[in-house]
Amino acid sequence: MDGLTCPHCGTVNPEDANFCKKCGANLHEDDAPAAATPDAQAAESRTPDAPAAGDDTGADASPAKPPQPFALFDLGLTAPTSRPRRPSPPAEEPAAPAPLPDPTPTPDLSAQLVHTPGLLDALNDDQLDIDPTAPGRAPSSPPIGGEQALWIRRLFSPDPSVADELTQPPAWPNLRMRWIFLVVALAVGIPLLFSRREPTGTIQLWPGVQEAHAAVAALPPGADVIIFWAYDQATAGELDLVAAPVVEHLIQARARVTIVSLLPTGPATADRLVRHAAELVAPAPEAQAVARDLVARNLYLTGGATVLPLLTGQTDARASLLGSASRMELAVVLAADAADVQAWLELVQPRDGTPVVAGTSAAAAPVLQAYWDSGQLTGLVSGFDGALAYRDLLERPYKDVERQAAARQLTAQNWGQLAFLGLILLGNLLAFLFRSEAVRNV
Amino acid sequence: MFDALGQSGAAGQIGLWVGLLTSLALASMLLRDNTLARLAQHILVGAGVGYAVVLAVRSVLWPQLVGPLLRAPDASPWRWLLAGLLAVLLLAGTVQIVTGGHAPSWLLLAGAVPVAMVVGASIAVAMLGAVEGTLAPQFLRAAASGLVTGAPLTVVTGVLTLLITSGAIIHLRVNPDRDLHGAPGWLRGFVGAWAAIGRRGLWLAAGVIFARLVASRISLLAARFEYLAAALQQTGVWTWANRLWEALF
Amino acid sequence: MGAGAVLLGAVNLAAVHIRRVQRGDREWSHSLVVIGVAAIVIAAGLIDPAGRNSPVLAWVFDYVLAPGQAMLYALTAFFLAAAGYRFLRLERRGGGWLVAGAVIVLLTQMPRAHALWPPALPAVTVWLVDAPVMAALRGALLGTALALLISGVRYLFGRM
């Protein structure tokens, strides 16, 4: 038969395919050395009777093998197979260190039951002796992760069969993706229509916000500040929330700002945000002048992070790039990704020693916490809660339009996060009920 | 977020429709893959690449290289060197692309010089930065976290911090089967247990990052809903829909 | 050199899509759209003396790039929800820790729910993020930096 046979589900794929068009599994995984990872070694050592990877005569290579889940992700409720069970260790064998977990798919029911470490890795499947072929076993769930892989690959694949696979609804207990999408859309969209005019609720105050505010407040009038603008319109929905109060505070502090961005659309994004911040502090006719007074330069630099060291020191290159060789009093990094803040802290700050305040996406904050703890970051503002906390610290009272925007943001967060919590709980509840049913029937 | 929805005139009106339709076409991807969504993606790629090229030429190449060379050719000789390397890079790269990977070897060799310079500089800069900005300060801070004194909770937190940090490093960098081959069982068990602590810390961190990612993405989604609502109102679609609703019900 | 890389990227994109059009590949018309849109934007940006501030470029940014990019990124919320439903399971390896971390922070950062929890919960969450989570991620940062250093040395000395 022409084509590559998927080692996991047996589907025949085109010769040049890298991933299975049905389950998304890596078609060349058997090419990798069996001992590529420690976990793989451990798994192999614990399953001496399992067919070796790459063994064409083994069950793995057979197209008739029952469907198996996508190996990379699936450790959950899956279909039993004829995979040999592991022998129990002899009773007299001395207690060994806890075995390394098995990264390979563990599709039999005993494996499902014992790979439930949760907060404890107490059990291993050698301690149970459950026949995976017994009636009432867990029915098959679709390849977890495979669908996501297909979604991603479909964007790049000209093969229509990849797209067609997605139209097949997954089996219980996996909800169809569209229902999940609908829940999220309704949870965020509907409350926005009926959100109150006043923000309600309490925001979590994360460490670093007050320190960021204090660092900007301490700037002398006319201080030179550099802003590393590492976000564009893709993430502006969140990052503009963070950047607006910081930029407004810089306007209040009468700072002179040089903006540098490594993103082509960074300067345009900065232009619009600065204009917005200026309109918040000054009437429309004067806002343009306010923005002009704030921004000395707004630059796009090519070359990626490699160019960042050129922004340090009293060099000609720096003067050529920034139009000035004077020392900056403060660096503000506005970034969607922790890696951009990290790049600044690695490539610029050790050389010029300028204090750094980071305004980032909420998702970047946990990673950057280490830099905050080590003192490399002077302040850290992240996410909608960090943004609103910073805004509360500004002396200017809220305008109606700001108050309503804050109310909408909080409403969306309330209901959106509630939906996420509900989905997580539902997934666990279904998995628990489903498994309990399976256990009773064993 | 601060989209220029307020622009007036025909260009603004057309833009509103273009933005609205592009957004809806991209969002339709959620329902199923379709040709409109793919068309919108292609438009986005084309516009993005065109925008990047213009910025690269108008904001970098012209003001920093070509302009100064034309104005004062003798002022900075290093710019001629840079221009030469850039020309070689562009020529070699273009020929390689156009010929489908069959550029003459001498040209490839010449083109490899600027590429090697860029790659070498990038690696050196990244390595130096990793040491100066992460390895040294984070290592020192981690070491200091285990040496705190004061209230019991502070001490416990400090020791726990050190334990988890070192455990995470062990989990990520040490392979007991390979690195401790032949070592006594107690040592392998000890290292395994230490790594297990770090592993649990990393799992917990992944959960926290997920939750913060949720907050981040809800902000983005809410901003898009607001954009769509504003665009629907400004294009008049909202009014039409209201009239239709009133007429029907 | 970075600007050169951008130009080469554009040449490569054009070459790929021109070949697709020449071969009449599936959805070759989309490739034509990529080339056409890129050509129009480049021509408008290079011809207009205003450069980056050209009204055409501003229009492209405000009405094509900004809404399109933002919508693409916003869609990730939906996939994140699907991932949360499917992967944040207690039964998975480490799932208890993952779910615990996610749920505690979600509960803490929900503005309306904030008042419902005992006052200690926000403090516990901050401690969690500040101590164990930060410590683990510091370990990851150190591990990554070490790996980068080792890989860099190997690369520079030609011992991949």
DSSP strands (E only) in B163-240:
none
Instruction: Give contacts of B 153-172 with C, CB under 8 A.
Output: 157, 160-169, 171-172
Per-residue pLDDT, A89: 41
Count of other CB atoms within 10 angstroms of residue C58: 19
Cβ-proximal residues to B178 (8 Å cutoff; 6+ apart), any chain: A38, A41
- Residue C140 to residue B49, Cβ atoms within 8 A: no
Tens of pLDDT, residues B58-101: 888 888 887 788 887 777 777 788 888 888 888 888 888 888 77
DSSP run (H or E) holding A4: strand A4-5
One-letter identity of residue B108: L
Tens of pLDDT, residues C80-114: 998 888 888 888 888 899 999 999 999 999 888 87
Residue C63 has pLDDT above 50, yes or no: yes
CA distances from A410 to A195, A264, A289, A398, C140 (A): 9, 31, 33, 15, 32
Tens of pLDDT, residues B2-46: 555 445 578 888 888 999 999 999 999 888 888 898 999 999 999
SS3 for A335? strand
Q: What is the pTM of this model?
A: 0.75
- Residue B215 to residue A178, Cβ atoms within 8 A: no
DSSP, residue by residue, A204-235: ---TTHHHHHHHHHTPPTT-EEEEEEE--GGG
Per-residue pLDDT, A357: 96
B-interface mutation test, from A374, A382, A385, A409, most B Cβ less than 10 A away: A374
C15 and A317 Cβ atoms separated by less than 8 Å: no
Confidence of residue A440 (pLDDT cuts 50, 70, 90): low
Mean pLDDT of A191-214: 84
The mean pLDDT value of chain B amounts to 85
Cβ-proximal residues to A414 (8 Å cutoff; 6+ apart), any chain: A191, A201, C110, C111, C112, C113
Residue A162 has pLDDT above 70, yes or no: no
Tokens of C2: 């970075």
Q: What whole-number distance in Å separates Cα of residue A254 and Cα of residue A251?
A: 5
Mean pLDDT of A397-406: 87
Confidence of residue A53 (pLDDT cuts 50, 70, 90): very low
Count of other CB atoms within 10 angstroms of residue B66: 15
Confidence of residue C133 (pLDDT cuts 50, 70, 90): very high
CA distances from B114 to A317, B92, C41 (A): 19, 10, 29
Residue A43 has pLDDT above 50, yes or no: no
Mean pLDDT of B135-141: 89
The CA distance from A425 to the nearest CA of chain B, in Å, is: 14
Tens of pLDDT, residues A216-236: 999 999 898 999 999 999 999
DSSP run (H or E) holding A131: none
Count of other CB atoms within 10 angstroms of residue B177: 16
Per-residue pLDDT, A415: 92
Lowest mean pLDDT among A14-28, A65-79, B143-157, C18-32: A65-79
A-interface mutation test, from B1, B57, B71, B125, most A Cβ less than 10 A away: B1
Count of other CB atoms within 10 angstroms of residue A74: 25
Per-residue pLDDT, A273: 93
Residue A381 has pLDDT above 90, yes or no: yes
DSSP, residue by residue, C47-64: HSTTGGG-HHHHHHIIII
Measured between beta carbons, which residues in chain A are less than 8 angstroms from residue C78?
Answer: 177, 180-181, 184-185
Mean pLDDT of A162-174: 44
Helix, strand, coil fractions of chain C, as percent rounded to 5: 85, 0, 15
Cβ-proximal residues to B182 (8 Å cutoff; 6+ apart), any chain: none
Q: Residue A173, preceding bond cis, omega within 30 degrees?
A: yes
Per-residue pLDDT, B109: 82
Per-residue pLDDT, A149: 55
Tokens of B222: 């809410």
The CA distance from B1 to the nearest CA of chain A, in Å, is: 5
Q: What whole-number distance in Å separates Cα of residue A199 and Cα of residue A384?
A: 13
Sheet of A330-335, strand order: A295-300, A256-261, A224-230, A330-335, A356-360, A379-382
Q: Does A422 touch chain B (CB under 8 A)?
A: no
Query: In which residue are the tokens 């592993």 written?
Result: B199
Per-residue pLDDT, B7: 55
C-interface mutation test, from A77, A147, A204, A259, most C Cβ less than 10 A away: A204
Q: Does B218 touch chain A (CB under 8 A)?
A: yes
Residue in C84, C107, C112 closest to A200 by CB:
C112
Residue A336 has pLDDT above 90, yes or no: yes
Residue A407 has pLDDT above 70, yes or no: yes
Of C50 and A108, the one with more pLDDT: C50
Chains adjacent to A (≥3 CB pairs closer than 8 angstroms): B, C
> What residue of A is the nearest CA neighbor of B173?
A38
Count of other CB atoms within 10 angstroms of residue B4: 17
Mean pLDDT of A187-200: 80
Residue in C132, C139, C145 closest to B160 by CB:
C132
User: Cα–chain-centroid distance for residue B188?
Assistant: 39
- Residue A342 to residue B226, Cβ atoms within 8 A: no
Of A18 and B130, the one with more pLDDT: B130
